[in-house]
């Protein structure tokens, strides 16, 4: 079997933390043959470190896309660039994995969907938190109807003080928003996936810029103090989403908020038979699932009970191969191309996530409920 030839566009933080090592771990399935970044040194360094023999690097992604031998493109750029690069990659006949979120607004996401459908290629979005052990178990329980009808849920993406101070995260013109679009997107994706509910009908949202412009609030930040003068996005946002079947989700997202307990890429589900919640938080943005715990609640012989995952099945110093969500995500993505199957994260699912996030921003800006 010929290996898939992969190109990575955007050689910054997410590429180095996630995509490069994940693709390198799948040497039997792929090889990295092209790298692109507007900063030439970054593209060159990635090419030298991860590139296969004969790999090339570029500063113009359109030049990269002219290479007909490239099968797959990973888009790892700031949010506002997702749409044009993805659309051009589809037009060039490539399969595309785009980092989350799909786009910075619904209009751009729709263009990506249209380009994908026209191309006949595979398309997925980088929601690697679906591949954690706790998330996988929760999803299986939902599929088995163990909680009954899930009529209320919470999506948690709360950091007490963890504003990213590198890259372009506080730049609204490049990202489209702050914590809502950055980490709120993961929490909402997990919640919708477990509920299998992708028909929102209305959204109410509140978006706050209370701490981002404060030098005092910037003190104690996990990644060092941010610059209040260049902080252009919200520091927290909240959404109330209603669905066609009557279900409701409350979404909370913050990079900085005066709240003691942090909880990120997590959700709480309330059903007619029982409920469940994921507790814990990501460790340095690179969670393996062991930093999280799934707690299921219900009744047992007339008593209220809670159950949580046990570590009893683990073996010291042996993990039986990589269990990193990014590696599992990458493997299933490449295999879905090779075997012509659907990826775990379907484009139409990721589109609804972007649609809801966009509606929260619009609701907050216009002070009204947004009908979908």
- pLDDT tens digits, 346-355: 999 999 999 9
Same domain, 291 and 309: yes
Same domain, 91 and 51: yes
Q: How many domains does the chain have?
A: 2
Same domain, 297 and 359: yes
| pLDDT tens track for 150-176 | 999 999 999 999 999 998 999 999 999
| pLDDT tens track for 90-124 | 999 999 999 999 999 999 999 999 999 999 999 99
Reported as a pLDDT band with limits 50, 70 and 90, residue 315 is very low
Same domain, 107 and 144: no
Same domain, 204 and 318: yes
Residue in the structure block whose two tokens are 């963890």: 162
Last residue of a domain, one of 128, 146, 177: 128
The answer to the question of residue 337 being in a domain is: no
Range with the poorest average pLDDT among 63-77, 150-164, 215-229? 215-229
Same domain, 24 and 123: yes
The answer to the question of residue 329 being in a domain is: no
The answer to the question of residue 346 being in a domain is: no
Question: What does DSSP assign to residue 180?
Answer: I
Average pLDDT of 316-324? 55
CA distances from 120 to 81, 123, 337 (A): 22, 9, 12
Average pLDDT, the chain: 93
The answer to the question of residue 107 being in a domain is: yes
- Output the pLDDT for position 313: 53
| Two structure tokens written together for 170 | 């506080």
CATH number for position 300: 3.30.360.10
- Output the pLDDT for position 288: 36
Last residue of a domain, one of 128, 143, 175: 128
Residue 111's domain comprises 4-128
Separation between Cα atoms, residue 19 and residue 8, nearest integer Å: 8
Last residue of a domain, one of 128, 160, 180: 128
Q: What is the pTM of this model?
A: 0.94
Residue 92: helix, strand or coil by DSSP? coil
The answer to the question of residue 247 being in a domain is: yes
Same domain, 116 and 215: no
Same domain, 106 and 138: no
CA distances from 19 to 76, 97, 98, 123 (A): 8, 10, 11, 16
Sign of the alpha-carbon dihedral angle for 279, 283, 287, 290: negative
């Amino acid at each position: 079997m010929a290996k898939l030839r992969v190109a990575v566009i955007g050689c910054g933080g997410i590429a180095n933390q996630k995509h490069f090592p994940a693709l390198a771990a799948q040497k039997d399935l792929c090889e990295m043959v092209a790298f692109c970044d507007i900063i030439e040194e970054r593209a060159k360094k990635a090419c030298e470190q991860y590139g296969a023999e004969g790999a090339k690097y570029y500063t113009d992604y359109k030049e990269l896309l002219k290479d007909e031998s490239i099968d797959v493109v990973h888009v790892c750029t700031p949010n506002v660039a997702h749409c044009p690069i993805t659309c051009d990659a589809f037009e060039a006949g490539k399969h595309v994995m785009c980092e989350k979120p799909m786009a910075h607004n619904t209009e751009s996401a729709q263009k990506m969907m249209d380009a994908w459908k026209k191309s006949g290629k595979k398309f997925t979005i980088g929601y690697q938190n679906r591949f954690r052990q706790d998330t996988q178990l929760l999803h299986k329980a939902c599929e088995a109807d163990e909680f009954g009808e899930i009529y209320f849920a919470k999506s948690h993406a709360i950091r007490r003080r963890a504003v990213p101070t590198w890259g372009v995260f506080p730049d609204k013109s490049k990202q489209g928003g702050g914590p809502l679009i950055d980490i709120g997107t993961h929490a909402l994706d997990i919640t919708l996936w477990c509920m299998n509910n992708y028909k929102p009908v209305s959204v109410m949202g509140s978006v706050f810029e209370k701490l981002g412009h404060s030098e005092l609030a910037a003190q104690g930040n996990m990644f060092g103090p941010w610059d209040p003068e260049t902080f252009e996005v919200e520091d927290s946002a909240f959404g109330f989403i209603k669905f066609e079947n009557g279900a409701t989700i409350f979404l909370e997202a913050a990079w900085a908020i005066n709240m003691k307990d942090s909880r990120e890429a997590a959700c709480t589900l309330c059903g007619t038979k029982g409920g469940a919640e994921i507790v814990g938080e990501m460790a340095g943005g690179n969670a393996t699932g062991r930093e999280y715990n799934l707690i299921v609640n219900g009744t047992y012989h007339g008593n209220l009970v809670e159950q949580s995952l046990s570590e009893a099945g683990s073996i010291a110093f042996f993990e039986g191969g990589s269990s990193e969500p990014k590696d599992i995500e990458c493997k299933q993505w490449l295999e879905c191309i090779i075997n012509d199957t659907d990826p775990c994260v379907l484009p139409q699912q990721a589109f609804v996530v972007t649609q809801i996030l966009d509606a929260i921003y619009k609701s907050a800006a216009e002070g009204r409920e947004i009908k979908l």
